[in-house]
Amino acid sequence: MEQENTILKKYFDGMTIESLIQPIATANLEQKRVIDIINNIEKAMMEYASKITYTQMRNIYAILLSADDVIGLHKVRPKIAYIQARLDKPEAKDVTIFILNLMKIVTKTEQVASFKELMETMVAFHKQYSKN
């Protein structure tokens, strides 16, 4: 059962979860999509940076970096789910739900790289806006 994706609904209106990890082409339309995604991640992290600690975000990111391919990424999903289960704040769980839902749809090698770039962007903006 997929959990409700609050961040997707609130910050990526009109986009599907699949569109967030599509490999990027060079057309102007694709450039606009990339810029929109980055801007929306920044807005989300402005709100959620105080809800999940930087250490928790870095732990999630470190786990994800250990995955080299699609199978590896899916094998670490339980570790992210475990981190989610230990979180107290519902808003912090929203961040992990967003990440887990993204992970579930990765089925191609080129999507792994896009997913990791998206996660790197989340961690960077989280660091910029977090107070801890």
Q: Over the chain, what is the mean pLDDT?
A: 87
Task: Give the pLDDT confidence of 59-80 residue by residue, as tens digits.
Answer: 999 999 999 999 999 999 999 9
Token code pair at residue 81: 């789910």
Tokens representing 38 are 């980055």
Residue of 22, 25, 53, 29 lying closest to 117 (CA atoms): 22
CB atoms under 10 Å from CB of 44, counted, come to 23
Instruction: For 61-101, give the DSSP string.
Output: HHHHHT--SHHHHHHTHHHHHHHHHH---HHHHHHHHHHHH
pLDDT single digits (tens) 26-55:
445 577 888 888 999 999 999 999 999 999
Distance, in Å, from the CA atom of 34 to the CA atom of 131, rounded to the nearest integer, reads 27
Query: Treating both helix axes as pointing N-terminal to C-terminal, what angle do 109-129 and 28-48 enclose, rounded to 10 degrees?
Result: 40
Q: Tell me how far apart the alpha carbons of residues 76 and 84 are, in angstroms, rounded to a whole number.
A: 13
Indicate if the pLDDT at residue 121 is higher than 60: yes
pTM comes to 0.86
pLDDT-derived band at 1, boundaries 50, 70, 90: very low
The pLDDT value recorded for residue 27 is: 47
